Structure 1
Amino acid sequence: MTRPVLLIGCGRMGSAMASAWVRVRPVIVHDPGAALPAEVTPLDRIDPDLIPDDVIVVLAVKPQSFGELALQLVPLARRGALFVSIMAGHSLAGIGDALGTSRLVRAMPNLPATIRAGVTVAVATAQVDPDRRQLVSSLFRALGSFHWVNNEDWLDAVTGISGSGPAYFFRFAEALARAGEAAGLPPDLAMTLARETFTGSALLAAHDQRSLADLREDVTSPGGTTAAGLARMDHEHAIDELVTDMVAAATARSRSLRT
């Protein structure tokens, strides 16, 4: 029988997960008052008598809500449930101490998972056996690509790159659109060009397996317009230093939130 999922928290990411998973397995959702995707089973209260023994519990609540919630989940942990957390700031050790279990996975999906084009990175405790690891893999591959790591500390840097990364791209596209306006384009056209250039470039990078440097060079003719723009971006390694500082700041913030 297909293992059911108990999804606790159904915000934007939780809703995306529920919509993808309900196609292949039963999904029970606990998030009173939330608008739930069709075909999921709502659960008004966490009552172990109403929850199957072999459930996979996915924690998708706001981090500050976990303390009170954990007390309600301890009976499920005692019954051997597997817990998968996508909460920021809660370590495997902290979650394990709160629940009294070591059958735990931490996962970091990113926003494009809401259109099943995301990337998720996860780490598991040693007590998660290969069958359960495979089960977790299948859950998150329904949302895009998926990668295991064996060092929980890496999740802070993952947060700084793929977790926060979509916002960096969107912010750069905003700046590109504003630059188009400054160059004389109508605002609507400048924004359309910025968005469609980003979309097309991302699709090209996904379909062409050559390095990003090779793809960049395909656009760049010696002494041409692109070379002139890149020279400003690369002056005294400005872009590399800026991006390194951005990722370092996000990584440090992720590390400081960990409990």
Structure 2
Amino acid sequence: MNPASTTLSHTLVLVGCGNMGYALLRGWVNSSTVHSRNVHVIEPVAALRERAALLGVNTHESCETLPAKADLIVIALKPQALQSELPSYRRFSRGTVFVSIAAGVSVGTLKSLLDSARIVRAMPNTPTAIGKGSTIVFSGSAVGQTDLENVKCLFEAGGAVHQVAHESLIDAATAISGSGPAYIFYLIECLTDAARELGLSAEIAGKLAKETVHGAAALAFDSPEDPAELRRQVTSPNGTTAAGLSVLAAENALSSLILRTTKAAFDRSLELGVPMQGR
């Protein structure tokens, strides 16, 4: 389904409009995937509510003023907020598909909080705001194919969408693509700091770091070669790149660090769902 040529006529509710919620909302409206007049945003923080209103959508401080019917409700709340907030949406359970982007919170937990089995879990990332995102989705068994395609269409407005057959893989995706942009941003910070240590100005250091990461990622994405081959192509024997890589590869330094980093994110994703599942 091509979001550029598909506009959903559904009534869409977005619960929470923080950084990720707003990134999704902006992608939906800017791509015309939804009509802004059909979108209702629930956001208790006035400044965030006003920011959303600038996109032409309907805004509400609480769910009490929502219309009686909603086709899709996207839950963009922190996992810790779901226990207290979601029961208020049970009145929509009969005819609505719920989509949760809360890390670590299982379909089973969401089902008990919402009194509905029509649930999709999704894990987008912040590049969704500029159409370069990556989203993993998992559908509960009660969600029909048409409804699932509509959910995919929403997230395709922000980039690539991948469906997984097992719910546990959502937590794995959270550790890679969900949290991954922060790892890359930190890499840019570190490259910038290193460039300054080597004598480059702050302005040039920052630009070189961003351009290098952006260019390398674009080349990896567009090239038919795998990243290992691209690395070999830029690494001349006994050259400068080989000298740098010898540090990163020594005792699998970088590989081990990335594994520990993603494992920590994965474990935390699992932990976020445990308190609610035990109640």
Same-fold call, TM > 0.5?
Answer: yes
Q: Is the 8 A contact 2:40 2:60 kept in 1?
A: yes
Pick aligned residue for 2:12 from 1, 5, 10: 5
Distance 1:56 1:62 in 2: 19
Pick aligned residue for 2:220 from 205, 212, 216: 205
Question: Which deviates more from structure 2 when the two are superposed, residues 98-107 or residues 219-228?
Answer: 219-228
Q: Residue 24 of structure 1 corresponds to which residue in structure 2?
A: 33
- Cα–Cα, structure 1 residues 221 and 131, in superposed 2: closer, same or farther, change >3 Å? same
Distance 2:84 2:14 in 1: 16
Q: Residue 5 of structure 2 corresponds to which residue in structure 1?
A: none
SS at match of 2:116: coil
Q: Is the 8 A contact 1:48 1:76 kept in 2?
A: no
Q: Aligned ranges for residues 36-115 of structure 1 at < 5 Å?
A: 36=52, 37-47=54-64, 50-53=67-70, 55-77=71-93, 79-115=94-130
Distance 1:255 1:166 in 2: 20
- Cα–Cα, structure 1 residues 183 and 127, in superposed 2: closer, same or farther, change >3 Å? same
Pick aligned residue for 1:228 from 227, 240, 243: 243
Q: 2:132 matched to 1:117?
A: yes
- Structure 1 runs of 4+ aligned residues shifted over 4 Å read none
SS at match of 1:128: coil
Q: 2:261 matched to 1:246?
A: yes
Deviation at 1:87, TM superposition (A): 1.3
SS at match of 1:226: helix
2:88 partner amino acid: Q
SS at match of 2:41: strand
SS at match of 2:63: coil
Q: 2:180 matched to 1:165?
A: yes
Question: Structure 2: which 5+ residue stretches go unaligned?
Answer: 1-7, 275-279
SS at match of 1:258: helix
Question: Structure 1: which 5+ residue stretches go unaligned?
Answer: none
Pick aligned residue for 2:22 from 15, 25, 36: 15
- Aligned-residue CA RMSD in angstroms? 1.7
Q: Is the 8 A contact 1:21 1:27 kept in 2?
A: no
Distance 2:185 2:273 in 1: 26
2:33 partner amino acid: V
Distance 1:248 1:2 in 2: 40
Q: TM-score, normalised by structure 1?
A: 0.93
Q: Is the 8 A contact 1:48 1:75 kept in 2?
A: no
Distance 1:243 1:19 in 2: 31
Deviation per CA, 1:130-151: give whole Å up to 9, x if none.
Answer: 1111111111000111101111
Deviation per CA, 1:178-230: give whole Å up to 9, x if none.
Answer: 22222222232222211111111112122213201121122111221111111
Q: TM-score, normalised by structure 2?
A: 0.87
Q: Is the 8 A contact 2:69 2:92 kept in 1?
A: no
Distance 1:142 1:101 in 2: 26
Deviation per CA, 1:23-55: give whole Å up to 9, x if none.
Answer: 2322111113222142212234424872335x1
Q: Is the 8 A contact 1:121 1:158 kept in 2?
A: yes
